[in-house]
Amino acid sequence: MLRIGDYEFSSRLLLGTGKYPDFDIQKEAVAVSGTEILTFSVRRMNIFEASQPNFLENLDIAKYTLLPNTAGAKTAEEAVRTAKLAKASGLCDMIKVEV
């Protein structure tokens, strides 16, 4: 069991969602992994632009805890700015910080 704050997970696997060749392979990888936590880069996925392709549209996101990350941030200020964007999306209340 993994506990993060008030969250409890039976799987300890945090699965990144980047670098899959297409959405079908990504969806299959998520399904067979058994993960309950999906991480994604806020910078690589335009979560505010409905016209852009988005892996979240291809998943039943109610099954997962989404954990956006600040990949690509080079400074603490950039990481904080990216974290605020993730929070504003309404998709999550946690974030994985990467600098």
Catalytic positions, written as ranges: 96
Q: What is the mean pLDDT of the chain?
A: 86
Check: CB of residue 84 under 8 Å from CB of residue 31: no
pLDDT at 92 over 90: no
Residue 17, sorted as left (phi over 0), alpha (psi -120 to 50) or beta, turns out to be alpha
β-strand partners of 65: 37
Check: CB of residue 59 under 8 Å from CB of residue 37: no
Q: Select from 9, 32, 51, 58 the least CA-distant residue to 40.
A: 58
Q: How many whole angstroms from its chain centre is CA 59?
A: 12
Whole-number pLDDT of residue 60: 86
Q: How many CB atoms lie within 10 A of CB 76?
A: 11
Check: CB of residue 83 under 8 Å from CB of residue 95: yes
pTM: 0.81
Q: Calculate what percentage of the chain has a pLDDT beyond 70.
A: 90
